[in-house]
Structure 1
């Protein structure tokens, strides 16, 4: 059960979770990812080469936020409609 004193922290974490999930969905669809090296954008082949690493890192971060929420007593991560 969540302590009422943790509601604000849980709210912030929920917002982070929504943002990370949205970012992962965009990257998985093949959109929204760009790679620059010294302010020069790389071509699609380069971006596609790093896409799986980016989605993996976003998934890791999503898992970490869910773990923090669980520690606060949040047990459901369903999206609001």
Structure 2
């Protein structure tokens, strides 16, 4: 999905895509974080799931989409700065 949408810096593969649907009905929406090959080793499925659960889902459930994305992006930036 990431490469098809052209999200990356050529030859670096440092992309991270945060994707969420909001109009599929209660408990039917899709929320995912897709990580490119560059940072992939730093993000296990468990770590990504925790990020979604702790930093994104509470705000999404309240309909605050901006805060949801802001919180998870802030956490990814903190992770990237610490590595």
Q: Same fold (TM over 0.5)?
A: no
Higher helix share goes to which structure? 1
Larger radius of gyration: 1
Larger RCO (CA under 8 A, 6+ residues apart): 1
TM-score (ref. length: structure 2): 0.31
TM-score (ref. length: structure 1): 0.31
Higher strand share goes to which structure? 2
